[in-house]
Structure 1
Amino acid sequence: MQLTQFVHRSLRASPDAVMTIFDGRLRTCRESVDRMSRLAGGFQTLGLRTGDRVAILASNSDYYHEALLACWWFGAVASPVNSRWSTAEITYALEDSGSTVLLVDENFASVGSTLREACPGLTTVVYCGSGPVRDRMLDYERVIAEATPVDDLRVGGDTLALLLYTGGTTGVPKGVMISHQALMTSALGTLAAGSVAVSNGTNLAINPLFHIAGIVGWLAQSLMGGTQVFMPNFSPRTFLEAVDRHRPTTVGLVPTMLQMLVDYEDSTTYDLSSVRILRYGASPISPTLLERVMQMFPNSSFVQGYGMTETAHISMLSPADHLEGGDLLRSAGRVLPHCEVKIVDPTGAELPPGEVGEIVTFGSHVMLGYWNKPKETAEVLRDGWMHTGDAGYLDARGYLFIVDRIKDMIVTGGENVYSTEVENALAQHESVASCAVIGLPDTQWGERVHAVVVLRHGFDADADELRAHVKTLIAGYKSPRTFQFVDALPLSAAGKILKRDLRCNAT
């Protein structure tokens, strides 16, 4: 399997169909393929060869789409860079990956010169944004115009295709090596489970393409044909306008975005009826929020995906599961058909249904390893099984429940408390818009359960009320001893709550 397969299929089936839309610019499949084949030729003219790394520091756009495919067209490795990182973190990723070519758009052109100076191996910066070309950068459009198109080398299988750097929130970032086969397996396995893309539909690509969820969502729709509409950033207004204008059939969001949408005052003025599939991930959704979102998108089915950069999606909560509701809404769904999952104890022994342990997964979807980090690779890849670091359990029906990151488990008074269980209880209070639970040092209890809460606009609740509410749902010792009320929770680019930041700023 190679990641350019869908390009050839689309070119044969519908060469004049619109493949990409960005900022009012429409390109057909035929135009897109010509541009990506020329860009691949341009990369080769710049001295790039099979296996070389090309870094991309940009917002979602049709250029991003072309650059990814151009890399795979001639066997290079695409290395999307987290656009929310500091210059120091970006510099580390460029140096560690050995990237010699960097693509930047207008949002990141100002750091291009800084990165060139900081990274001796970075020989070329290509400007792929709007407006005039920046100093000492090559013009993306000129590279394409002056290049000769090259044939697809059809590199695939276990060849490295993608190098994605993980957070860097708990130390030095690690480059996750993802092969053609792994990414294709993840996308095809997700499609086989159903309800993640519409044949020849339109995907609104809002999840960033430097994140595995954004890439898998983009690839899944690409494999089914149709159109990609790229959004460079999210706000409730721009998202709603894009849905109203472009009529997408599929969108992918995170619960924090969904919360902003349902709280947006003018949401009822937009036509959202085209959306047939709404994918979400990064965290479970509260029943209250899900009910409000279902009312907002009445024609849509809902799908939740669980996974990580190293594995892409490994389980999915289907539309039927969402309609069944109840406890299933707390689960991450059933294991997808392309992978195997089991729950193990610290010795590696498999645990029976209902018992909490570490989630591990095996299959062709698993990463090749961490770039230049054999020790870290060996720690998580054991006999082919990827150890996720997530604690969870499988129930008797095969549904996977995530209870916490193992490192985030709270031990208070000798009892284990999983933060997600407390968060789920808190989220059921009508005044709670979002929340996060962490453990803080405590002289009496070792750790105390601490909740950070964002209240819904126009609602009010104090610590005593929320504490009493939690105690009606779970054991009293799990109820937060302390509360902190904030206007917003710190989020990663993938929409995950940054609990490290919460611990640093806890009061």
Structure 2
Amino acid sequence: MQLTQSFHKAALEHPDAYATVFLQRKTTFAQFVERVSRVAGALHALDVAHGDRIGMLALNSDRYIEYVFGTLWAGAVINPVNTRWSVNEIAYSLNDCGTAILFIDETFAHLAQPLRERCPALRHVIYCGEGKPHAGMHAYEDWLVRANPVADAQRAGNDLAAILYTGGTTGVPKGVMLSHANLASNALCALAAASRPVVRAVLHTAPLFHIGALALVFQAALRGAKHVVLGGFDPESVIKAIAEERVNETFVVPTMIKAMLDHPSFDTHKLSSLTSVLYGAAPIDSTLLQRALGKLPSSQFMQLYGMTEIAPVAAVLPAHCHTPDGHKLKSAGRPAPICEVRIVDPVSGEPLPKGRVGEVAVRGPSVMMGYWNKPEETAKALRDGWMHTGDGGYMDEDGYLFITDRIKDMIISGGENVYSTEVENALLSHPAVEACAVIGIPDEKWGETVHAVLVLRASHHLTLEEVRDHCRQHIAGYKCPRSIEFRTELPLSAAGKLLKYKLREALMKAGGKAPHTPA
């Protein structure tokens, strides 16, 4: 399996069709393959060898997609950098895998010199922004013009294709090693998991350093689709791009869907071309889904569950399950083709029966090769061919996977297991609650107690007793929050995942004392 093959195919079958659209630039498939081969040639001219790691620190653009396929064409390995990291975190990821070349745009050009000082292996910086490069950088277009196009290195199968650094929800960065076969097989697997409408144009608005967004690039490439690229998520820009470029499919997180529906310009644009909305990072709220189905009647919704270590899709909740009163809506869906999913005891690793909560384990050809330079972490995660995800969940009698919690987010209070997702679902059913997160905090008597962090809807107020009274209608008393605090927003990763470790850190800095009422 070879990730560059799809563009060879597209250049033969429809060379004059558009491959990428960004700002005012439109590139055909024939032009795209030419540019990619020049990126590879330019990398070879900088003494890049097979297997060398090439980084990208930039917002989304057409050049980002050229970087991905140009690096692979050169036989090298992509290392897309998380744009939300500090300079020290970025330097760690570059140093950890010995990144030799870094592409950078105008947004992050000021970090080039600090990164040079911190990263001894970093030999060259390529400026791929729209303005003039800083001193000591190669200018992208000039760099390409001087380069000779080269033949595809034809790296494939178990050859390393990507190192994607993930802290997950723990804050500890690990370089996930994914091969061509991992990524290509998962893209095919995701496409086969549930029927999707025909796609001619795909919109990329989620950050391309993230596996969810990157996976859509590979899926769209396999389908010969046009890649419409936005620098980042802005609801008005997304709405306009869908209308103007007749976009058929996009990948978002539920918070993005809400932002689009809430935007004043939503009803002023024709969005009937959008037939498929893929989402991940969290289940969709039934109220939000009902709004979305009403506002986008031509669209079907599909949830993708997975993680970077699985390249990334492990389960898919298809469109027919997306009804506001559907009893499967809170599930992550059924395991995707070629992905085996089972629930195991988190300590012994033994399989558990249907309905029992345990750790989600996944086996299949898209499971990662391991963590770069972390053999002990790899051994903990990969056992007997199974990827132990760290997610808690169960399988129902119909084979649908339900995610209950991160195993490490499970709260043990008075000897009882409390799954924070269950408490969060109870809290979200209150009309005053916009968003929430539940964590455990140390307690001398109970070991841990349940603490809720709430974001309230405008003009709403709640007390601890009101929260507890509401929760008792849905869950057992020992699961109800014993303390609450109020925030205007919750800490989220670039992928829209809740970063509970940041909530814990804030509490620890406050001496572990949790407020019971608003400050």
TM-score (ref. length: structure 2): 0.94
- Mapping for residues 233-312 of structure 1, pairs under 5 Å: 233-311=232-310, 312=312
Contact 1:195–1:301, Cα closer than 8 Å, also in 2: no
Contact 1:40–1:71, Cα closer than 8 Å, also in 2: yes
- Mapping for residues 142-181 of structure 1, pairs under 5 Å: 142-167=142-167, 170=170, 172-181=172-181
Contact 1:302–1:318, Cα closer than 8 Å, also in 2: yes
Change (3 A) 1:304 1:388: same
- Corresponding residue of 1:40: 40
Give the Cα separation in 2 of the matches to 1:316 and 1:462: 38
Change (3 A) 1:7 1:377: same
- Mapping for residues 457-472 of structure 1, pairs under 5 Å: 457-472=458-473
- Corresponding residue of 1:320: 320
Give the Cα separation in 2 of the matches to 1:264 and 1:484: 29
Change (3 A) 1:12 1:200: farther
The worse-fitting range, judged by mean Cα deviation, of 358-367 and 232-241 is 232-241
Change (3 A) 1:247 1:465: farther
Change (3 A) 1:395 1:364: same
Give the Cα separation in 1 of the matches to 2:246 and 2:431: 32
Give the Cα separation in 1 of the matches to 2:71 and 2:476: 53
Contact 1:199–1:225, Cα closer than 8 Å, also in 2: no
Q: 1:171: Cα distance to partner?
A: 5.4
Give the Cα separation in 2 of the matches to 1:116 and 1:137: 11
- Corresponding residue of 2:510: none
Contact 1:259–1:433, Cα closer than 8 Å, also in 2: no
Give the Cα separation in 1 of the matches to 2:305 and 2:182: 16
Give the Cα separation in 2 of the matches to 1:293 and 1:470: 27
- Corresponding residue of 2:477: 476
Query: Which stretches in structure 1 are left out of the alignment for 5+ residues?
Result: none
Give the Cα separation in 2 of the matches to 1:460 and 1:237: 31
Change (3 A) 1:493 1:319: same
| SS of structure 1 residue aligned to 2:322 | helix
Give the Cα separation in 2 of the matches to 1:268 and 1:307: 33
Give the Cα separation in 2 of the matches to 1:326 and 1:415: 30
Q: 1:150: Cα distance to partner?
A: 0.6
Residue deviations 1:265-295, cap 9 Å, x none? 4432233222111111111122112212222
- Corresponding residue of 1:203: 202
Change (3 A) 1:314 1:147: same
- Corresponding residue of 2:348: 347
Give the Cα separation in 2 of the matches to 1:285 and 1:383: 34
- Mapping for residues 363-402 of structure 1, pairs under 5 Å: 363-402=364-403
Q: 1:413: Cα distance to partner?
A: 1.9
Give the Cα separation in 1 of the matches to 2:274 and 2:433: 27
- Corresponding residue of 1:423: 424
Q: 1:451: Cα distance to partner?
A: 1.2
Contact 2:177–2:370, Cα closer than 8 Å, also in 1: yes
Q: 1:340: Cα distance to partner?
A: 0.5
Give the Cα separation in 2 of the matches to 1:339 and 1:184: 14
Q: 1:237: Cα distance to partner?
A: 2.3
Residue deviations 1:40-85, cap 9 Å, x none? 0000001001111101111111001001101111210011010110
Query: Which stretches in structure 2 are left out of the alignment for 5+ residues?
Result: 508-513, 515-519
Answering whether residue 136 of structure 2 is matched by residue 124 of structure 1, we say: no
| SS of structure 1 residue aligned to 2:329 | helix
Give the Cα separation in 1 of the matches to 2:171 and 2:426: 31
- Corresponding residue of 2:218: 219
Counterpart code for 1:378: A
Give the Cα separation in 2 of the matches to 1:433 and 1:264: 17
The worse-fitting range, judged by mean Cα deviation, of 98-107 and 200-209 is 200-209
- Corresponding residue of 1:496: 497
Q: 1:153: Cα distance to partner?
A: 2.0
Q: 1:329: Cα distance to partner?
A: 1.2
- Corresponding residue of 1:361: 362
Contact 1:255–1:285, Cα closer than 8 Å, also in 2: yes
Answering whether residue 142 of structure 2 is matched by residue 137 of structure 1, we say: no
Counterpart code for 2:368: M
| SS of structure 2 residue aligned to 1:323 | coil
| SS of structure 2 residue aligned to 1:93 | helix
Q: 1:492: Cα distance to partner?
A: 0.6
- Corresponding residue of 2:517: none
Change (3 A) 1:230 1:68: same
Aligned length: 506
Q: 1:459: Cα distance to partner?
A: 4.4
| SS of structure 1 residue aligned to 2:394 | strand
Give the Cα separation in 1 of the matches to 2:19 and 2:497: 30
Residue deviations 1:88-146, cap 9 Å, x none? 00001111111110000111111011111211111100000011121100011111111
Change (3 A) 1:34 1:200: farther
Residue deviations 1:332-373, cap 9 Å, x none? 000001210111112121111001111111110000001111
Give the Cα separation in 1 of the matches to 2:387 and 2:154: 28
Q: 1:324: Cα distance to partner?
A: 7.6
Report the aligned-residue RMSD.
1.5
Counterpart code for 2:502: D
Contact 1:394–1:400, Cα closer than 8 Å, also in 2: yes
**How many percent of aligned residue pairs carry the same amino acid?**
49
Residue deviations 1:127-181, cap 9 Å, x none? 0001112110001111111111111121100000000011276454111000000
The worse-fitting range, judged by mean Cα deviation, of 461-470 and 185-194 is 461-470
Give the Cα separation in 2 of the matches to 1:340 and 1:108: 40
